[in-house]
Amino acid sequence: MEFPMIVSQALNGIAFGMLLFLLAAGLSLMFGLMGIVNLAHGAYFMVGGYVGLTVLEITDSFPLAIVAGAAAGAFLGFLTERFFMRRLYGLHGHETILLTFALSLVLSDLSLFLWSGTPRWVQPPAFLDFSFSLLGNPYPAYRLAIILIGVLIFVSLYWFQERTLWGAIVRAGVDDKEMATGLGINIPLVFTMVFCLGAFLAGFGGFVGSPILGLHIGLDVEIIMLALAVVIVGGIGSLTGCLATCLLLGISDTLGKVLWPNYASLTIYLVVVIVLLVKPAGLFGKEVK
C-alpha cells in the first residue's frame, strides 16, 4: 500500500474512532459510576440516527437534525434510567444486563416498524459535501469535520469533568457514592444526568456518523460490540484513555478491513485477546481486580 493511501485510511480510522468515542465515553462513564453495562446504548445511537434522518427530510436542515438525533438519544436515556434502571440498582448486575438487552430488542423492532428494514444513507450537509486533495488523493471533507467534532467533544468533556463543579460531583460519585451522598450530593440525580449525557452523545454520534456508516437495522449491535471492545481494551478510568483506545481500535479496524478484507472486524478482537492476555485490567484501567 502506498503512503498517501495509508494516510487516508488512517484518517478514516481516526474518524471512525471518534464516532466510537461518542458512544464509548458515555458507556464507560455509566460503567464506572453506576456499575452497569448498558446494552441499549447502541440502540440510542441507531435511533438517534433515524430520528435525525426524519427531521432532515422534513426540515432540510442538517444542524436541526443533529439536535433532534441527540435529543432523541437523551430522551431515551432519561426514560431508561428513570423508569427502569432506578428499580434495579444494588441487585446482582445480571438484571440490568437483561433489562437493557430487552430494551435494545424493543428499540430495534420499533425502528424496524417506524423506518423499515431498507438501509438508508444520509448526504453530508452541502457546505461539507466536497473532497479536497490530500497528498494527491481526493479526501472527503466531512470525515475531517467528524475528526474535528470528536476533538471538540473530547475537550469539552474533559473540561466538564476536570474543571466544573458538576464534573467534580460525578468524579466524587465514581470514587465513593456513600461519602458523596453524605456530603449532600443528590446521587440519583447525578445518575440520571450522566445517563442522559451518555445517551445524548450516542444519539448525536448516530446522526453525525450516518453519512459514513449509513443507517440500517442491526447497526445498534455492530456499534455496541465495538464500544464494549473499547471498554475491555481501555479499561475504565480516564477519558483520555478512552479516546486513545477508540483511536487505536478505529485505526486497527479500518486498516484491518483494507489489508484483510475477508476477516471483517476481527482485527479489533485480536487486539482484545492480546490485551486480555497481557493486561486483563485494560490498557488504561486503574484498578487490578
Partner 1 sequence: MSRVRSSWKSILSAAVGAAFLLLVPVLPQYAVTLATSIIIYSIYVSSANLLTGYTGLVSLGQAMFWGSAAYSVAILTSKAQITNFYLVALIGLLVVVLISAFFGILALRVKRLYFMIVTFAFGHVVWCIAMYPMQKLTRGYDGIKDIARPELGLSVSLATGVSFYYFVLIVAVICFSVFFLIIRSPFGHAIVGIRDNEHRMAALGYNTLLYKYISYILSAVFSGVAGILFAYFNGYVNPSELHWLFSGDALMMMFIGGIGTFWGPLWGALAYTGLRYWISSYTMYWFGIEGIIFILVVLFFRGGIAGFVMSVQKRLKWQRH
Binding stretches for partner 1 (CB under 8 A) = 31, 35-37, 84, 87-88, 91, 93-95, 97-99, 101-106, 108-110, 112-113, 221, 225, 228-229, 231-232, 262-266, 269, 272-273, 276-277, 280, 289
Q: Which is nearer to partner 1, 149 or 248 (CB)?
A: 248
Report how far residue 219's alpha carbon sits from residue 39's, in angstroms, rounded to the nearest whole number.
13
Cell 488504561 locates to 284
How far apart are CB 149 and partner 1 at their closest, in Å? 27
Provide, rounded to whole angstroms, the least separation between the CB of residue 201 and partner 1. 19
Q: What's the residue count for the chain?
A: 289
Shortest Cβ distance from residue 269 to partner 1 (Å)?
A: 4
Q: Between 224 and 247, whose beta carbon lies closer to partner 1?
A: 224
Which residue lies nearer to partner 1 by CB, 181 or 265?
A: 265
Place of cell 444519539: 203
**Of the two residues 62 and 284, which places its CB atom closer to partner 1 in the complex?**
284
Segments of the chain assigned E as strands: 131-134, 137-140
Residue 65 or 242 with smaller CB distance to partner 1: 242
Q: In angstroms, rounded to a whole number, what is the distance separating the alpha carbons of residues 121 and 101?
A: 26
Contact assessment for residue 222 and residue 212, using Cβ atoms and an 8 Å cutoff = no
Using the minimum distance from each CB to partner 1, give the nearer residue, 157 or 236: 236
Cβ closer to partner 1: 63 or 93?
93
Neighbours of 90 (CB within 10 A): 8
Q: Which residues pair with 139 in a beta bridge?
A: 132
Q: What is the largest CA-CA distance in the chain?
A: 61
Quote the least distance from Cβ 252 to partner 1, whole Å. Answer: 14
Contact call for residues 123 and 129 (beta carbons, < 8 A): yes
The SS3 assignment for 150 reads: helix
For the bound state, the minimum distance from the C-beta of residue 281 to partner 1, rounded and expressed in Å, comes to 8
| Cβ at position 177, least distance to partner 1 in Å | 17
Please state the closest distance from residue 167 (CB atom) to partner 1, in A.
24
Provide the 3-class DSSP secondary structure of residue 215: strand
* CA–CA separation, 129 and 140 (whole Å): 7
Q: How many CB atoms lie within 10 A of CB 168?
A: 13
What is the rounded end-to-end Cα distance, in angstroms, of the chain? 42
Of 42 and 49, CB closest to partner 1: 42
Q: In terms of C-beta density within 10 A (0-12 exposed, 13-18 middle, 19 or more buried), how is residue 71 classed?
A: middle
CB of 137 vs partner 1, minimal distance in Å: 28
